[in-house]
Amino acid sequence: GGAKGLTYYSGLTYTDDKSIVLNSYSKRVQSKINVDYSTGKFRLFNTLSFAYQTGNTVPLFNTLRQLFERNPWTSIYRPDGSYAGYIESKRNPVAQALFSTNLDKNYTTQYSTQASYQILKDLKFTALFNAQLNNNNNTQFNPSSLTSGGTGLSTGGNDLENKFYWETQGYFNYNHTFAKDHNVTVLLGGSIDRQRNDEFDLNFNTYPTETLLNPTGAVFLTNSSYPAHAHKDESVFARIGYNYKS
Of the pLDDT bands very low, low, confident and very high (cuts 50, 70, 90), residue 246 is low
**Cα 21 to Cα 58, 67, 138, 140, 162, distances in angstroms:** 8, 12, 19, 18, 29
What one-letter code names the amino acid at 88?
E
Q: What is the CA radius of gyration of the chain?
A: 28
Which residues are paired to 183 by β-bridges? 177, 243
Of the pLDDT bands very low, low, confident and very high (cuts 50, 70, 90), residue 210 is low
pLDDT of residue 29: 96
User: How many CA atoms lie less than 13 Å away from 144 in the CB half-sphere?
Assistant: 12
* Mean pLDDT over the full length of the chain: 87
Measured from the Cβ of residue 154, the count of other Cβ atoms closer than 10 Å reads: 21
pLDDT of residue 206: 78
CA-based end-to-end distance of the chain: 38
Query: Rounded distance, CA 137 to CA 84, Å?
Result: 30
